[in-house]
Amino acid sequence: MTFTKALIGAALVSTLLSPFSFAADQADIDRVYNAIQQNLENHLYQLPPRVQGHYGIRMYRMTGDDKYANAALVDLFAVTEAQSYYACNLDNPGFIEKASEEAISVLGKGPRAKARKKALEDIPEFLFFTDVLLRFGSRIDEFGLKGPCHQQMITALKSTNLKKGLTSAEMIEAWAAQLANYVYWAKQLGVGDYLQEYKDAFNAVYPASRDKELGKDQFRNKIYGMTHFIFAASGYYQTEVDSKEFAWILDYFEANIDRILMDATDDIIAEVGVSFLLAQKPSHPVVAKTRDHIVKAFDEQHNIIPSPKGNPDLALGEHRNMLAMMLLRWPQKLTAGPMLAELKATKKYLPMQVSEKAPAENTKKQPKDLKSKAGKSAD
């Protein structure tokens, strides 16, 4: 009897000391979700346009509620203006070189920024074509639209071989998740299929045999990159993905979940859980473990999941907290879009420089003449 009590006591102490022992019930999950949602939506229009858009687009895809479409419209105006400037100046002498230098200059001065700048030394125009042109073009495309100087942009992207940047070991070690985005954006716009080449290069840089030598930053970069294979394949939460296609990622997450919970940031931990949800595995133990972690990370005072350094800033933390919300309350069905030219809430108020894509249209076709979508006032 004494021996049995000792075993029970030891197990209890072990459970209390374990960093993974906290188990959230449904009331905890709902409370945290509701608090984050209320906090973000109470302050939504105080956030930068692109942050408003990020939130509204994802909430639309999670809920299908048209009330979030106008936040996506705010984002559309921002990216349309940007594409108008960059795509419509592509033929101007020296513009690409200047724009490339500007894109690199705003990377910052920290260790990650230095690593990225070093990786870009031999391919200075890579960031302009990917993080500028592909980013803006793919976002407008997600809304079922084409932006200004669309064909000019497509022609420039098709004539640019992105393989070197996408398969560079230095680039992968500095920017794994972003490169996955670029790969899928290029495929989405029909300007290049680099998926298999990037997957092969990624796995060559980060084989499982190398895990023991990866420091915390490189381990995080690896996990972050793996989640974005799944996220990008889903069109960023517009549709589920095939769990068999991404078994190499899901199996890795399952086998390494303890290290992920210990070494990854809350953003990345939430992304790991959402990866299983996108793969239609809501009952997988990894989902429960990541949810427990996120609930435990919630800051009751500020109603937010703060940054790793404890910063509760909403503009900086919206990405992290939107991911937390998706993890805590996943829908029965995802909603594609929003297709802004089709929704009653937005179709009359589109930027004048966008045009609606024709059904089944591909990038080889010439765009229609731009027509005003803002003919009627909002009164």
pLDDT tier, 202 (very low <50, low <70, confident <90, very high otherwise): very high
pLDDT tens-digit readout, 212-234: 999 999 999 999 999 999 999 99
d(CA 155, CA 91): 11
Q: Which of 168, 178, 164, 104 is nearest to 135 (CA)?
A: 178
d(CA 125, CA 95): 11
pLDDT tier, 6 (very low <50, low <70, confident <90, very high otherwise): very low
d(CA 54, CA 60): 10
d(CA 70, CA 41): 13
Give the pLDDT score at 9. 44
pLDDT tier, 19 (very low <50, low <70, confident <90, very high otherwise): very low
Highest mean pLDDT among 4-8, 9-13, 330-334: 330-334
**Token code pair at residue 367:** 């765009």
pLDDT tier, 11 (very low <50, low <70, confident <90, very high otherwise): very low
Give the pLDDT score at 374. 34
**Token code pair at residue 339:** 């297709």
Find how far residue 254's CA is from the centre of its chain: 21
d(CA 223, CA 227): 6
Q: What number is the average pLDDT over the span 30-46?
A: 97
d(CA 297, CA 284): 21
Q: How many CB atoms lie within 10 A of CB 68?
A: 25
Tell me the DSSP string of 140-163: HHHTTEE-TTHHHHHHHHHTS--H
Give, for 355, the enclosing helix (H) or strand (E): strand 355-356
Are residues 49 and 74 in contact, defined by beta-carbon separation less than 8 angstroms?
yes
pLDDT tier, 276 (very low <50, low <70, confident <90, very high otherwise): very high
d(CA 233, CA 179): 13
pLDDT tens-digit readout, 305-321: 999 999 999 999 999 99
d(CA 93, CA 261): 50
Give the pLDDT score at 361. 62
**Token code pair at residue 157:** 């992207």
Q: First vs last Cα of the chain: how many Å apart?
A: 79
Give the pLDDT score at 359. 76
Q: Return the CA Rg of the chain.
A: 22
pLDDT tier, 282 (very low <50, low <70, confident <90, very high otherwise): very high
Summary mean pLDDT of the chain: 90
pLDDT tier, 341 (very low <50, low <70, confident <90, very high otherwise): very high
Q: How many CB atoms lie within 10 A of CB 263?
A: 17
Give the pLDDT score at 369. 34
Q: By percentage, how much of the chain surpasses pLDDT 90? A: 85
Strand partners, 145: 356
d(CA 117, CA 262): 29
Q: How many CB atoms lie within 10 A of CB 286?
A: 20
Global confidence as pTM: 0.89
pLDDT tens-digit readout, 66-114: 999 999 999 999 999 999 999 999 999 999 999 999 999 999 888 888 8
Q: Which of 282, 183, 291, 279 is nearest to 234 (CA)?
A: 279
At residue 261, what is the residue type?
A: L
Are residues 48 and 98 in contact, defined by beta-carbon separation less than 8 angstroms?
no
Give the pLDDT score at 74. 95
Residues 298, 303, 309, 313, Cα dihedral to 10° = 150
d(CA 363, CA 201): 27
